[in-house]
Every structure is written in structure tokens, then in C-alpha cells.
Amino acid sequence: MGAVEPLDVPVAPGAVLREPAHRVSRRAVLMWTLQALVVLALLLAGQVVWWLVDDAPSRTPHWVVGAVWLVAGAAYAVAMPQWRYRVHRWEATPRAIYTQSGWLWQERRIAPLGRVQTVDLERGPVAQLLGLAAVTITTASAAGPVTIHGLDLPVAHELVDALTAAAVAETGDAT
């Protein structure tokens, strides 16, 4: 053992891994919008409470604060879901899973299926309403769970079956 291995992959501009093949469901945009609206509703509730509790004669601060979060919130509710939809992608092969997610902070995750411990299918209230599901793939590393949000329910079921079959085929300690 000794010297540092020379990079046998040419480091050229653009020598990055291609994007995962599949987009998530188009309805995911709606799901993220609804989730954003829930946050906005909570902010509105806070604003109303403040309006009722405050005894000061001037209502100007209320209008200023309200306008600020309304503009920021509206921008968030409109831009975030579209941005997310453009970023979120996934791909699974019999041997590995590859995802891309986020919006301001983006990340790609890639994990071999031989190291998978559990595969979970989750459906929150909004996701149930829209016929969507999230699939979470957990590995032996606490830092490693891979989640794909906003999949069509049939696609999610198919993916879970494929992943479970692949994980059974691969044996080993998973650590």
C-alpha cells in the first residue's frame, strides 16, 4: 500500500453524473402548495391573535408585519412547489437507488440496495387526499435514509415491491 491512486476518471467540466430518470407526480406541486398554505394559515392565525390582544390605538404595525409575511409567503407558496418539482427526480435499478431533491438546498443521494435495511411507504393527510405517497429507504447509517416524496400511489407500491425484492436478493450484514 502506498501512493495516492491517480484519478482514473478524467476531471473535465461537465463530468458530473446525469440526473435520475424519473420525475415525481405532477400532483406533488399541489401537495407542496397545500403544505405551504398550511404554514401561511398558521401565520394568519398568529396575526389574528395579535390583532385581538393588542390594545394600542395604532394598527399600523399590524398592517406592516402582515404585508411583509403575506408577500414573502405568497412568493414561497408559488415559487417553492414549482422549483421543487423541477428538482425532484428518482431512479431505481435492481442494484442501486438514486434521488435528487430540495430547492434552495439541493442534494443527490445514491445508495446500493445491498445495504438497505427497511423500505417504508408513508402517506400524510395531504398526500392521501391527492393519492400520493412517500417512499423511505433506510440503510445501516443513521445519516443515510433516502426519501422520495410525491410519488403516485401505484408507482410507490411498485417501487416498494421492487426494492424489497432487490434487498432480499442481496445478502449481508448491511453495515
Partner 1 sequence: MTEDAEGWRRLDARMLLVHPLETLIRFLPALLALVVFRAGSEDNDRWELYAVPLIVAFGVLRWVTTRYRIADGQIELRRGLFTKQTTTARLDKVRTIDLTARVYHRVLGLAKVEISTAGGQHDRLVLDSLGVDAGRRLRAELLHRVDPAVTGLPAPTGAPVAVDDVPDDAPPPVDDEVLVRLDPSWIRYAPLTVTGLASAAAIVGFASQGFSRFSQERSVFRDGASFVSRLAWWVDVLLLLGVVSLLAVGAYVLTFWGFRLTRNRLGTLHTRRGLLTNRETSIDAARVRGVRLDEPLGLRLAGASRLKVVTSGLLREQGGSDWLCPPAPAGVVTPLALRIRPDEAAVSGPLTPHGPAARRRRLTRAVVPALLVAALLVVARLLWDWHGSLLVLVPLLLVGAVALGRDRYRALGHAVTPDHLVTRHGSLDRQRVVLDRDGIIGWKVEQSFFQRRVGVATLVATTAAGAQHYDVVDLPVEMAYAVLAQVSPDLVAEFA
Binder of partner 1 out of 84, 89, 109, 149 (CB under 8 A):
109
Identify which of residues 82 and 93 has a Cβ nearer to partner 1 in the complex.
93
Helix (H, G, I), strand (E, B) or coil at 67: helix
Choose the stretch contacting partner 1; rule: CB under 8 A; options: 39-47, 59-67, 97-105, 163-171: 97-105
Identify which of residues 59 and 86 has a Cβ nearer to partner 1 in the complex.
86
Distances from the Cα of 157 to the Cα of 1, 111, 134, 136, angstroms: 46, 20, 10, 12
Q: Is 171 in the site for partner 1 (CB under 8 A)?
A: no
Helix (H, G, I), strand (E, B) or coil at 118: strand
Write the DSSP symbol of residue 54: -
Residue 101, phi then psi, degrees to nearest 5 = -150, 175
Question: Where do contacts with partner 1 occur on this chain (CB under 8 A)?
Answer: 1-5, 7-9, 11-18, 20, 91, 93, 95-96, 98, 104-112, 115, 139-144, 146, 173-175
